[in-house]
């Protein structure tokens, strides 16, 4: 029988400290070194999810880490995914499939039932891979929640994994973060921490030397890396804290894209390719004072469609979107955004709302009926509509993925996309809707803008409405290259020999 895979775990002093990015880097580093590597996160709370080839739903960060490791994503890499909904509830996705909706208190009671699923998933990965890179969640020092832990030190103890503890110096107080975390850990947990990592440092690293020595004196654990703040490596963000507007000036901006910053925005990495196009500014809009005069309006996905539609109305953004469309601005809705653009959202069984019916924005003549069964597929498709936004890409091949609990009856004459495969199986169906002018477009396909030919068609159409030309497309972002750049940066600034020794690997 083979020995189980070597493991390393990345935990943080807080959310957004840099756990995901370091875990991603380690996945690529070990893959470059010839190992078969799998990422693992026992429980992820995120609205940014991804669909595996067999139709399971996992956190987007584990899909990114799998890509960095050059392996296919699978549900064992993230056995428990929490998707927050309104009223402090979450949909609980277990092994890629939605199981229940629970409040935070109710979920605590469920956690112990999920522990065997978590351990069996980790065990399966350790049998099939050489190395498993484990990511924690939040902080291991949340002492009020510790008795319910299934993602941090409980996992480290189960796997007997060395732990790297990451702190974000950009927020300030990083030494207190790290020392305080270590103080609140149990002795057996502190013993697992093999190194501290300072993340997002700007400036001269020699200025940290005395602090790093004192840190080791206080904790007995060395600081093994100071990772610099970077702007030139583009790896998908795990959560919406990473949503920032591009700093293009009005003079530099050819096409201004306003994405509605819904309270429960999901799969916001749909817009990453737009942000990397020359002359395109992507703004995440929270209120009418930020709306401006965009060249393209996008309503993104959401886990709580009706609540977020109510929010658009309460903020005055629904009226502003309708007015912009009437004035000639194109509007695109993705997944929940597509549902909002229709005439009505029906929910007689209370799947997403306690209201049996909610009027939509009425910009497309479609209606949505919510159902209890979630649709999750990777898809391939082709552009069949050829007017307006899609005039330049008729016949183009598309790839994307579907994650939705509503069904919008097919409007064949209006559907701009033909689905050719779902989860690898042949499919003959249509997707989405487009109005007569080709100016209002809705689709269930996430990843739409990752398709270059369609993306350029949409942007060039928006630019032409202003009588300007969009600059030629750059080379875009090749994620493999970005993962390699990230790995090189971490190799330079992290003591990988120390990490290898802690894992029992040859140095």
Catalytic residue positions, numbered? 335, 446
For 504, list phi and psi in degrees, rounded to 5. 80, 25
Is residue 317 within 8 Å of residue 286, measured between CB atoms?
no
* Residue 344: strand, helix, or coil: strand
Residue 13's alpha-carbon distances to 239, 345, 475, in angstroms, are: 17, 42, 37
**3-state class percentages of the chain: helix first, strand second, coil last, to nearest 5:** 35, 30, 35
Matching residue, tokens 């997002």: 200
Handedness of CA 169, 172, 176, 180 (dihedral sign): negative
d(CA 506, CA 42): 27
d(CA 165, CA 38): 20
Is residue 189 within 8 Å of residue 140, measured between CB atoms?
yes
d(CA 199, CA 127): 32
d(CA 479, CA 13): 28
d(CA 239, CA 432): 27
Nearest to 402 by CA among 356, 342, 351, 339: 339
- The residues near 488 (Cβ < 8 Å, ≥ 6 apart) are none
Q: Three-state SS across 249-306?
A: CCCCCCEEEEEECCCCEECHHHHHHHHCCCCEEEEEECCHHHHCCCCEEEECEECCHH
CB-based burial label for 264 (10 Å; 0-12, 13-18, 19+): buried
d(CA 104, CA 126): 30
DSSP per-residue string spanning 401-431: EEEEEEE----TTT--EEEEEETTEEEEEEE
Handedness of CA 64, 68, 70, 74 (dihedral sign): negative
For 295, list phi and psi in degrees, rounded to 5. -90, -15
Angle between helices 19-32 and 60-69 (to 10 degrees): 20
């Amino acid at each position: 029988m083979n020995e189980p895979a070597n493991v390393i775990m990345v935990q943080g002093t807080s959310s957004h400290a840099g756990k995901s990015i370091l875990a991603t880097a380690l996945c690529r580093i070990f893959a470059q070194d010839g190992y078969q590597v799998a990422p693992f996160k026992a429980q992820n709370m995120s609205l940014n999810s991804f669909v595996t080839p067999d139709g399971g739903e996992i956190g987007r960060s584990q899909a990114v880490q799998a890509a960095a490791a050059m392996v296919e994503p699978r549900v064992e890499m993230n056995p428990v995914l929490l998707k927050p909904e309104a009223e402090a509830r979450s949909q609980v996705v277990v092994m890629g499939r939605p199981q229940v909706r629970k409040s935070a208190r109710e979920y605590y009671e469920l956690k112990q039932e999920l522990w065997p699923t978590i351990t069996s998933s980790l065990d399966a990965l350790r049998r099939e891979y050489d190395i498993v890179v484990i990511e924690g969640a939040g902080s291991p020092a949340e002492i009020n929640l510790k008795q319910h832990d299934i993602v941090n030190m409980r996992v480290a103890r189960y796997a007997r994994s060395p732990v790297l503890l990451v702190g974000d110096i950009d927020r300030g107080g990083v030494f207190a973060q790290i020392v305080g975390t270590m103080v609140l850990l149990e002795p057996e947990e502190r013993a697992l921490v093999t190194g501290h990592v300072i993340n997002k440092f700007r400036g001269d690293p020699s200025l940290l030397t005395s602090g790093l020595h004192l840190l080791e004196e206080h904790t007995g654990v060395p600081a093994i890396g100071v990772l610099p703040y970077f702007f030139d490596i583009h790896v998908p963000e795990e959560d919406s804290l990473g949503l920032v507007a591009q700093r293009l000036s009005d003079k530099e901006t050819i096409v201004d894209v306003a994405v509605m910053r819904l309270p429960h925005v999901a799969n916001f990495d749909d817009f990453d390719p737009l942000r990397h196009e020359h002359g395109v500014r992507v703004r995440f809009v929270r209120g009418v004072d930020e709306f401006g005069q965009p060249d393209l309006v996008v309503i993104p996905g959401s886990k709580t469609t009706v609540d977020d539609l109510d929010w658009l109305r309460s903020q005055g953004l629904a009226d502003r979107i309708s007015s912009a469309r009437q004035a000639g601005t194109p509007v695109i809705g993705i997944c929940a955004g597509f549902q909002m653009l229709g005439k009505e959202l029906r929910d007689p069984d209370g799947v997403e709302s306690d209201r049996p019916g909610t009027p939509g924005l009425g910009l497309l003549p479609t209606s949505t009926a919510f159902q209890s069964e979630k649709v999750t597929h990777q898809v391939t498709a082709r552009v069949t509509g050829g007017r307006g936004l899609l005039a330049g890409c008729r016949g183009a091949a598309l790839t994307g993925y579907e994650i939705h609990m509503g069904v919008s009856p097919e409007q064949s004459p209006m559907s701009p996309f033909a689905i050719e495969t779902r989860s690898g199986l042949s499919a003959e169906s249509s997707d989405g809707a487009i109005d007569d002018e080709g100016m209002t477009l809705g689709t269930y396909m996430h990843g739409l803008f990752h398709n270059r030919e369609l993306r350029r068609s949409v942007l060039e159409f928006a630019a032409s409405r202003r009588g300007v030309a969009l600059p030629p497309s750059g080379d875009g972002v090749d994620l493999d290259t970005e993962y390699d750049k990230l790995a090189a940066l971490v190799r330079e600034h992290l003591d990988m020999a120390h990490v290898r020794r802690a894992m029992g690997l040859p140095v």
